[in-house]
Structure 1
Amino acid sequence: EALKQVCRLNGRAVTSRDISFDLAPRLNSASRMNNVQTALDLLTTTDPRLATRLAATLDADNNKRKLIQNQILEEARAMTEKLTEHETGAALVLRGEEWNPGVIGIVASRLVDLWNVPVVMVSFSGGMGKGSCRSTPAFDMHSALLQTGDTLDRFGGHKGAAGLYVSEGNFELFKEKFLQVARTAMESTTYGPRLLVDMLLNPDALPEETVRRMTLLEPFGDSMEPPLFMGKGLRLLAPPEFMGDEGRSVRFSVAGVGGPVQAVAFGMGDYFREFDWKNQEVDLAYTPEINRWGSMERLQLRVVDIRRPSGR
């Protein structure tokens, strides 16, 4: 209950999305910020006042984690701008000094979303690198590391994610071998990003009550993704509103059942920089959800991908 309070989730039922994006990140922040005992104490205490203090500490740790994450992400993005096509076409392998090893996995996932290629991020300290690896659906990360294992001190993981240790002297050799494995995979498989939607369904044919019934299918997660629909030829009802750092995210309204419905597109702000919202249409891949803020609830579209309508 104390953790729900700091997440502003008190007084209502908790969804799987609340756990994924609010509760779990705060618990995980303890280990990422080298303070794992705080999370354990919160989960085992029966003292409400102590629970409140511990939850506040986790919330503060999570905010620190976000700051560190954004700093590393900006540094990594700057690095990618200086890399050659040889170093970015099939995968990204980046190194940094004293990056927080508990955070680089999150940053690697963000870079996968941005580049649509597998990403390895390695943090060096005292001549030894600790790395986090994140993959795309079509690329087997563990298999790739098996093929480069002679350059690593040790590694472990699975198809989608892994961790590794590599010495300073072996990093460049590992990087080149890994990039070659990724290039070979790109040539031999359907390697690029693929998005499979469940059905074509414009938002003006999707009642809020139907979306509420979809919550009965929860919990959603890996191998049990939430429904993904595609709306075609949609028009914005007002100018898009940019959000977040440097306006990288955006929200806008499209026609829904009985009136406008808000859509949010995280990390897709650049698409709308020169967008003529009065005259242009868009196709959206989206997941409908009930957005909750305090005691207020309303239908919202979480945009997964966006494109210009084909043939227009």
Structure 2
Amino acid sequence: MKIAAIATIADSVPLHGENRVIASLGLNALRSTVNPGLKALLELAHLDGRPLTSEEVAFRIAPRINAAGRMDIAADVIDLFTLKDPTRAREVAARLDKLNGDRQEEERRIVDAIEKRITEDSALRDSFCMVIDGEGWHRGVIGITATRVVERYGRPAIVISRDGEEAHGSGRSISVFHLLNALESCPTLFTRYGGHAHAVGFSLPSSRVAEFRASVEAYARARLKVDDFEPVLNVDAELALDSITPELFAALQKLEPFGAGNHEPVFCARAARLSAPMKILKEKHVRMKLSPSQANGGNAGWRRALTYNSMGWRLAERAQREKLLPGDLLDIAFNLGHNDHPEFGGIELSLRDFKSLEKASAHGTT
């Protein structure tokens, strides 16, 4: 049940019916893991001894498991779950952790190269379907780098790794653009291809990459508008920061597990005040301390004095570009989470987006 729950969440299977039951029972059972390999993996990720959330499985367990297939061979995962010797299991778990670190470093290297290319190439920057190729990029990582490009630019993106005369590509798309149909508009270019509306993979001769780029760009321009590239974040409810309580958080936990088909509620709060200098973590994340608005609605009294820690995953560059300072007011979109750190744990906001009220040029929709 535990392994089935991890697989269900990692594969983004819709959490309906029996899938939801499998995920829920498996997540709760993970607090008492006896399999040596799984136990070692949870210990290494600092997730042992308690029930897990679907988010923790998706972002802290699944990447370590997937790293074997992306960076090396998947046999290590089979070994991990079949070994009976705890010492050997810890060794394999450590190897998977290192492979995941290697994957992150390779992803960072490719993303940096892509960012440089986009900055220098105005035609690429203005394309309706971004096709970026590079020599020797790791094939196991190009899919996730395509995802990063889509997240940043809001456009379909295809990343191609050239290896001599052969090239391999992986693409990700936005909701309004069927990426597989785009490939099927030029099928003779490929030696093989497949996928679905939002993700594709393919191989083709390196000599035909330029032809492919022109073909898919023409296809995209015939079907997309500039407005399609504007990111939209759907918000479930407005929630003033001084209305957040432990009781509300406990009620939301009853809706777990979250994932495909059962999304985590997204809230918005208006005019939240940045109450301390923001902190940049690992060059890509930002931590902020936010307090309730003193001007708009909400509860009176002591709850107005509360300050909430918030984490903006991959929002550091935007926050730095906005030059946010203590006292600035932000409209924010967020999920409610919990930090288990013994010193500064408690309810924590996971920022999905923000808009500075002092700077009308803020990017994104809340």
TM-score, length-scaled by structure 1: 0.92
Question: Residue 22 of structure 1 corresponds to which residue in structure 2?
Answer: 60
Q: Please give the secondary structure, in 1, of the residue aligned with 2:260.
A: coil
Question: Residue 50 of structure 2 corresponds to which residue in structure 1?
Answer: 12
Gaps of 5+ in 1: none
Pair 1:93-2:131 in alignment = yes
Question: Residue 252 of structure 1 corresponds to which residue in structure 2?
Answer: 288
Question: Residue 166 of structure 2 corresponds to which residue in structure 1?
Answer: 128
Gaps of 5+ in 2: 1-38, 293-302, 361-366
- The 8 Å contact of residues 110 and 145 in structure 2, kept in 1 or not, is answered as yes
- The 8 Å contact of residues 283 and 309 in structure 1, kept in 2 or not, is answered as yes
How much does 1:152 deviate?
1.9
Question: Residue 3 of structure 2 corresponds to which residue in structure 1?
Answer: none
- The 8 Å contact of residues 45 and 61 in structure 2, kept in 1 or not, is answered as yes
Q: Please give the secondary structure, in 2, of the residue aligned with 1:63.
A: helix
Supply the distance in 2 between the matched residues of 1:292 and 1:186 (Cα, whole angstroms): 44
- The 8 Å contact of residues 180 and 197 in structure 2, kept in 1 or not, is answered as yes
Question: Residue 257 of structure 2 corresponds to which residue in structure 1?
Answer: 219
Q: How does 1:60-139 map to 2 (within 5 A)?
A: 60-85=98-123, 88-139=126-177
Q: Please give the secondary structure, in 1, of the residue aligned with 2:340.
A: strand
Question: Residue 159 of structure 1 corresponds to which residue in structure 2?
Answer: 197
Supply the distance in 2 between the matched residues of 1:2 and 1:279 (Cα, whole angstroms): 44
Q: Deviations over 1:69-100 (max 9, x none)?
A: 11111111111112224653412100011111
Supply the distance in 1 between the matched residues of 2:247 and 2:141 (Cα, whole angstroms): 38
Q: Please give the secondary structure, in 2, of the residue aligned with 1:131.
A: strand
Supply the distance in 1 between the matched residues of 2:69 and 2:101 (Cα, whole angstroms): 14
- The 8 Å contact of residues 42 and 48 in structure 2, kept in 1 or not, is answered as yes
- The 8 Å contact of residues 263 and 300 in structure 1, kept in 2 or not, is answered as yes
Question: Residue 90 of structure 2 corresponds to which residue in structure 1?
Answer: 52
Higher strand residue share: 1
Question: Residue 283 of structure 1 corresponds to which residue in structure 2?
Answer: 331
Q: Following TM superposition, where does structure 1 have runs of at least 4 consecutive aligned residues deviating by more than 6 angstroms?
A: none
Bigger shift: residues 261-270 or 66-75: 261-270
Supply the distance in 2 between the matched residues of 1:60 and 1:271 (Cα, whole angstroms): 29
Choose which of 249, 271, 277 in structure 2 pairs with 1:233: 271
**Equivalent pairs: percent with the same residue?**
27
Bigger shift: residues 302-311 or 131-140: 302-311
- The 8 Å contact of residues 118 and 124 in structure 2, kept in 1 or not, is answered as no
Pair 1:300-2:348 in alignment = yes
Please tell me the residue identity of whatever aligns with 1:2. A
How much does 1:60 deviate?
1.2
Q: CA 1:311–1:266 in structure 2 vs 1: closer, same or farther (change >3 Å)?
A: closer
TM-score, length-scaled by structure 2: 0.79
Q: Deviations over 1:109-161 (max 9, x none)?
A: 11111111111000011211111111112221112211232322221111111
How much does 1:55 deviate?
0.8
